Amino acid sequence: MILVAFAAEPVGVDIEQIASSQAVEQARDALHPAERQELDMFPEARRPRVFTDIWTRKEAYLKMLGSGLLRDTRLDRVGTGRPGSTGVTGAELTSVPVPSGYAAALCVAVPA
């Protein structure tokens, strides 16, 4: 799968296959502390999907910033997309519909 976006403002996108439960446990420390708490609120069976939603939002945001994964992934709270789950300002994060088994997100800078 590939996802491409073009915009007049800085933009980032990401698409990922839904993570395995094992991958979630191995990578959860890369999330912002509030994102880890939010992830823990979901039943274990839903966590791979929720984690992947958070991760695609995080990568889309970091790509929009221009840093990608060079920036500490624990610094920014992008959340799951549920109301109040993000701490990001100056950008609009949106989940993108993709085929089953994948998650994707788009992040566009909001002009000041």
Instruction: Look at the pTM and tell me if it is higher than 0.75.
Output: yes
Q: So what's the pLDDT on residue 28?
A: 95
Q: Which residues pair with 33 in a beta bridge?
A: none
Determine contact, residues 5/106, Cβ cutoff 8 Å. yes
Query: Edge-to-edge, what's the strand order for the sheet holding 11-17?
Result: 11-17, 102-109, 91-95
Instruction: Find the mean pLDDT for residues 63-82.
Output: 93
Q: CB-based contacts of 32: which residues, under 8 Å, 6+ apart?
A: 73, 74, 75, 76, 77, 78, 87
For residue 78, what are its two tokens?
Answer: 């992008």
Give 85-94 pLDDT, tens digit per residue: 788 889 999 9
Give the integer Cα–Cα distance in Å for 42 and 39.
6
22-38 pLDDT, tens digit per residue, is 999 999 999 999 999 99
Task: Tokens 């939603």: give the residue.
Answer: 53
Whole-number pLDDT of residue 112: 76
Q: State the DSSP code for 80.
A: S
**What's the sign of the alpha-carbon dihedral 3, 88, 65, 10?**
positive
